[in-house]
Chains A and B, each alone.
Chain A
Amino acid sequence: MNRVQPTAPLPETPTFAMLRTLAGIAMLAGLLVVLVFQWTRPIIEENKRIAIEHAVSKVVPGAVTKRDFILGPDGLHAVDGGTAPPGERIYLAYDGSGRFIGVALEAAAAGYQDVIRILYGYDPVCQCVTGIKVLKMAETPGLGDKIAFDPAFLKNFAALDGTVDPQGGTLQNAIVTVKHGTKHQPWQIDAISGATISSNAIGRMINASAQRMFPLIIRYLDELKRGSVPADKPDGGGR
């Protein structure tokens, strides 16, 4: 018959030993994390830059290079890594000969599962959206995720009207998503059947961003075409 041996009582551990262990482990953890962070940071930044550049070339047809700026109510600002000026980050897109051909902007709204983030292009000459690229989403595979690749849905953004009302400083017509098969106007987005919430989210986010940013783009178009900030503001920006 097996006899159960009584468990020996846990030996007393000095408080200092416990503190020393926890502090030592915390220091080692901090050192490892900081080392790896410093090592991978430039690689991650480069990956992000390439991803954004790739996305800009998708949403602004013909774009080869881009430069980053902040556009706010008081005009164009350089991205210098210091205190962020009021406004939103925009990407000025240039063709192979260095000619300004459009702007790429970020927009986001709540989708079916999580926030959807997109990059979309705007051509100030035709005052229209020229394309979208989904940067992040968690929509239902096979249904909501079609917003990223469904050719019929993406066709909505080939020349989606975003004309700015010269009087009011807003869009002449709000960009809206309509039920599948009922699109009749150039500012309407034809929803994907079975993915209404995701389609609506795209329409909502583009309209909200366009109402804020398109009037500013038109107002500061000359600065955008020059691709430089006025002399009293610091220069800089991406490539």
Chain B
Amino acid sequence: MTGQLIRQEQVTPDTFLRGLWEENPVFVMMLGLCPVLAVTNSTINALAMGLATTFVLVSSGALISLLRNLIPKQVRIATYIVIIATFVTIVDYLIQAISLDLYNALGAFIQLIVVNCVILGRAEAYASKQKLPAAVVNALGMGAGFTLALLCLGTVRELLGAGSILGFHLFSANFEPWVVMVLPPGGFFVLGSWLLLFEYLKQRRARKAEAAAEVMAHGS
């Protein structure tokens, strides 16, 4: 009902891969940092939150894409929020059914997925303008990128803060856990370190591309 001409994107590998690297929701777009910092004190929490967010991203993206021609622009935000809240409620029940311990560990952050800007951002910027396959593949890529970022933080924080990964202890009994890493400041330290690494890799890639372009220019 928007009455606007919008370029429909073809589904390519890039539709999925963009979310992993080029437009990674955490390391590049810096979105949804609240759960990224709060629940990544262990790998299993990070994985569960990543999968829960991916489920909501894909489901809401699919439904919004299907209904995109029926949703008037004036009420679109209210509609998206209701759709996202529905799938968050569903994922809330599903996690309770899968594991109560996990549900208690994730606490209020499951319900707070409703206000995760990655999801509303994808709904507004992509799913509401694209056909179902593109919306689903893009949401899967974004979810995978978000989960990857959470796992990057969760594994490092659990390894340093508790000496284990997924609950399996990797060091001898002499290892003194670096408790600060599982506390809130540890989230900022590890996120900062990963951002530094991502920025370094990005700049290195840009330098290489520049050098290659220069060689081509001189060679021709």
Residue of A nearest to B1 (CB): A13
Q: Are A47 and B97 in contact (CB under 8 A)?
A: yes
A-B contact count (CB 8 A): 74
Q: CB of B70 within 8 A of chain A?
A: yes
Q: CB of B213 within 8 A of chain A?
A: no
A40 touching B94 in the complex, CB below 8 Å, given contacts A48-B100, A142-B177: yes
> Which residues between 35 and 91 of chain A lie within 8 Å of chain B, taking CB atoms?
36-37, 40, 43-44, 47-48, 51
Contact-residue bracket for chain A: 20 to 34
Note all chain B residues with C-beta closer than 8 A to A138.
107
Task: Report the Cα distance A11→B75, complex, angstroms.
Answer: 13
A29 touching B183 in the complex, CB below 8 Å, given contacts A21-B71, A37-B93, A44-B97: no
Identify which of B82-90, B113-121, B202-210 touches chain A. Answer: B82-90
Q: CB of A208 within 8 A of chain B?
A: no
Task: Report the Cα distance A205→B43, complex, angstroms.
Answer: 32
Task: Report the Cα distance A18→B76, complex, angstroms.
Answer: 9
Task: Report the Cα distance A140→B78, complex, angstroms.
Answer: 37
Q: How many Å from the CB of A133 to the closest CB on chain B?
A: 12
Task: Report the Cα distance A60→B177, complex, angstroms.
Answer: 32
Q: Are A33 and B75 in contact (CB under 8 A)?
A: no
Q: CB of B193 within 8 A of chain A?
A: no
Q: Are B70 and A140 in contact (CB under 8 A)?
A: no
Q: How many Å from the CB of A199 to the closest CB on chain B?
A: 18
Note all chain B residues with C-beta closer than 8 A to A141.
41, 161, 179, 182-183
Q: CB of A179 within 8 A of chain B?
A: no
Note all chain A residues with C-beta closer than 8 A to B13.
none
Q: Are B72 and A21 in contact (CB under 8 A)?
A: yes
Q: Are A44 and B183 in contact (CB under 8 A)?
A: no
* Interface of chain B: mostly helix, strand, loop or mixed: helix
Residue of B nearest to A41 (CB): B93
A22 touching B89 in the complex, CB below 8 Å, given contacts A17-B72, A40-B97, A142-B177: no
> Which residues between 100 and 158 of chain B lie within 8 Å of chain A, taking CB atoms?
100, 104, 107
A17 touching B97 in the complex, CB below 8 Å, given contacts A25-B79, A32-B86, A141-B161: no
Task: Report the Cα distance A37→B90, complex, angstroms.
Answer: 8
Residue of A nearest to B75 (CB): A18
Q: Are B93 and A18 in contact (CB under 8 A)?
A: no
Taking a contact as CB atoms closer than 8 A, the residue among B41, B73, B82, B86 that contacts A10 in the complex is B73
Task: Report the Cα distance A59→B82, complex, angstroms.
Answer: 43
Task: Report the Cα distance A44→B93, complex, angstroms.
Answer: 8
Q: CB of A99 within 8 A of chain B?
A: no
Contact with A along B32-76 (1 / 0, CB 8 A): 000000000100000000000000000000000001001111110
Q: Are B72 and A32 in contact (CB under 8 A)?
A: no
Q: Are B73 and A47 in contact (CB under 8 A)?
A: no
Q: How many Å from the CB of A42 to the closest CB on chain B?
A: 9
> Which residues between 105 and 140 of chain A lie within 8 Å of chain B, taking CB atoms?
136, 138, 140
Q: CB of B174 within 8 A of chain A?
A: no
Task: Report the Cα distance A25→B86, complex, angstroms.
Answer: 10
Taking a contact as CB atoms closer than 8 A, the residue among A18, A24, A28, A140 that contacts B183 in the complex is A140
Using CB atoms and an 8 Å cutoff, list the residues of chain B in contact with chain A.
1, 3-4, 41, 67, 70-75, 78-79, 82-83, 85-86, 89-90, 93-94, 96-97, 99-100, 104, 107, 161, 177, 179, 182-183
Chain A to chain B contacts (Cβ below 8 Å), 30 pairs: A8-B3, A8-B4, A10-B73, A10-B74, A11-B3, A13-B72, A13-B74, A18-B74, A21-B75, A22-B75, A22-B82, A25-B79, A26-B82, A28-B86, A29-B83, A29-B86, A33-B86, A36-B93, A36-B94, A40-B94, A44-B93, A44-B96, A44-B100, A47-B99, A47-B100, A136-B104, A142-B161, A142-B177, A142-B179, A142-B182
Closest 3 CB pairs of A and B: A142-B179, A29-B86, A43-B97
Q: What 16 new A-B contacts, CB under 8 Å, besides A21-B71, A22-B82, A44-B97?
A: A8-B4, A18-B72, A21-B70, A28-B86, A29-B82, A29-B85, A33-B89, A36-B90, A40-B94, A40-B96, A47-B100, A136-B104, A141-B41, A141-B179, A141-B183, A143-B179
